[in-house]
Structure 1
């Protein structure tokens, strides 16, 4: 029988409300979804200081992010990928990780890096073209945060390789949560269509890696909507590789924290990899070279603005009795963070041209040294007035 339009089942890339873990609604009221039931005890254990810390993290990184966007518009940076709107998914997941865990960002996880100890100016240095890496992931001050990866999806392979090493070295599943290690890797809905991601999931499932695949579904892979990429919710892909998968409201920082903490604890204990789909929205452009007005409607943007993660958490905290002084202090701190980023960025200067010859090979190479000498003589031939 030839299927008719009416007989073909409907498909949607959006999980149903009953599937999504949510603790606080868009208006800041506590309205746990049915899927949130297993996480309620964990949520209730959060202290006022921890909850207010989530809010502070989000406000400070948004101040930094806006300043960085402005700096790019002023010609100080070659590119900037805004994280506007995705703060809750990132803060909640990063705060859920233990000190010994390894975090693999993509290229807009600015608050993840900041929470783990990376100096945000090191992110600026990457986007200014002063460095290929930005920071040393082996430096304890950077909290096992691996460097940004602009090649979509490749970081999932790096994360899975390290996670496999943890299995081989017996650094997970020993029953000691204070020492067992886990890995969390961040990627987007666009990257989820890359072959690297699926290959990483194959190996993660096969070797039962202590790993969490954290997909930030911000609804748009540059100009391609998620509905075009998948006929079913993205979180369901994880089940095909044998890993439990959970959709969470990515604009709810509390839910993002709870779901990620449980997933990391399970992975760390030896139960194998987990997948999380955080439903959020990229309120800004894909990068500063993008114009989202070419493919998004203002009605869509306004509807998501009503679900702003910072506004939601502010309303929630006010309902718990947070003072005006607290919010004023956080806003003032955000202004300091933004100003610090502006001042230090403008002081960075350029990159010495001779650096192009560094790190070409792991050891000195005569041909590279020959080229370095030629370039120095070539530059000197112009004289001081040229």
Structure 2
């Protein structure tokens, strides 16, 4: 009989790039790309961080109502998203700015969501990316249903790389405490659906540490549902790419789902309304800053001969992106709230139309009084 004092078994962590910038090896996973591909990944990391830091600053200046920082989680997002093919589909969380970047979404569209001006502004079919999910864990069920549809449509296991498709669902460690995630894992396993469950374990569900949510590593849940699990260094973009690429191919080949636990760290606040200093100490944060996902890639590139000009040009490109984001944010038009009623029902009801008319009358009266004054 086990007890609460029994040791928790260690789970191997896939790592291909150490914080020092040194290449590592793993018996089952490898990164075979050249320096140009690593430079491209580094560009993704830098540009994603710039989107994040600019949006954070915009919120602090009152231009956004809220922003969920992804500082420290860039490698998990970039590595996994770059493993996707064009015809794959991703279901992100509200924090997956790097995934949106990799799927070709204009980052200014993210600003509209958190300014309260729109619901996202892109067509999911054009980017293979659903709109960010706010309801914690619900997107795992959406992803599982989409993956089941791929199987029913004969888009899995045909051997045709231009046809076979897979799905990836992103969620955090806090979401694993939601029943939706367990239901999705079970349903996907039973039906052998082509979906990869990608958990960004950033150690905190708002203020609740992961140790208060689960006694064993999250990846061990996979075995209980009958699917393979892989634990990867979530601050290692090369490892995240290699692990996700293999899991997605397994899904496309008709071999079923995989759970990936990317061990990373949220270096900033949960959102701009959060004060993380109230529930964690500075020493912990400093320890993870030493594992910064961008620094390790830069060290590798410098060691392998990337020129100073590359980094200078990239910094200029990031500055230009920052300026574009600031300008675009201030030019986002205010939404017409009357249009909200148009999206409540497929076929509007008498009550809905009446409420819309009442709102329009109230809005016009307010605007008229302002003009009159």
TM superposition score normalised by structure 1: 0.92
Alpha carbons 1:186, 1:216 under 8 Å: kept: yes
Which residue does the alignment assign to 2:7? 10
Contact 1:218/1:280 (8 A) holds in 2: yes
Q: Matches of 2:22 and 2:285 in 1, distance apart? A: 22
Select the residue among 273, 279, 286 that pairs with 1:302: 286
Q: Which stretches in structure 1 are left out of the alignment for 5+ residues? A: none
Between 1:126-135 and 1:189-198, the stretch displaced more is: 126-135
Matched, 1:209 2:193: yes
Question: Counterpart of 2:238?
Answer: 254
Instruction: Give 5+ residue unaligned stretches, structure 2.
Output: none
Q: How many residues align?
A: 370
**3-state SS of paired residue (1:121):** helix
CA–CA distance in structure 2, aligned partners of residues 173 and 290 of structure 1: 45
Determine whether 1:126 maps to 2:113: yes
Quote the residue 2:85 is aligned against.
98
Q: Determine the C-alpha separation between the residues in 1 that align with 2:179 and 2:228.
A: 20
Superposed structure 1 runs of 4+ greater than 4 Å apart: none
Q: Residues 312-338 of structure 1: CA distance to partner in whole angstroms, max 9, x if unpaired?
A: 100011111111001111111111111
Aligned position for 1:64 = 51
Q: For structure 1, which segment, 23-32 or 243-252, has the greater mean C-alpha deviation from structure 2 after superposition?
A: 23-32
What are the superposed Cα offsets for residues 113-138 of structure 1, whole Å, 9 maximum, x if unpaired? 11111111111111111123442212
CA distance in 1, matches of 2:317, 2:363: 45
Per the alignment, residue 21 of structure 2 pairs with 28
Counterpart secondary structure, 2:259: strand
Q: TM-score, normalised by structure 2?
A: 0.96
**Would you say 1:39 and 2:29 are equivalent positions?**
yes
Deviates more, 1:356-365 or 1:240-249: 356-365
> Whole-Å Cα distance in 2 between the matches of residues 134 and 186 of structure 1?
20
What is the distance in 1 between the residues matched to 2:136 and 2:298?
A: 33
Indicate the SS of the match to 1:83: coil
C-alpha distance in structure 1 between counterparts of 2:80 and 2:278, whole Å? 32
Q: The residue matched to 2:372 in structure 1 has which SS?
A: coil
Aligned to 1:320: 304
Name the Cα RMSD after superposition: 1.6
The residue number in structure 2 matching 1:83 is 70
**1:365 — aligned with what?**
349
Residue 177 of structure 1, CA deviation: 2.2
What is the deviation of 1:197?
0.2
Deviations 1:133-164 (A, max 9, x none): 442212x2xx2101101110000000000001
Question: In structure 2, which of residues 246, 249, 255 is the aligned counterpart of residue 265 of structure 1?
Answer: 249
* Change over 3 Å in CA distance of 1:30–1:147 after alignment to 2: same
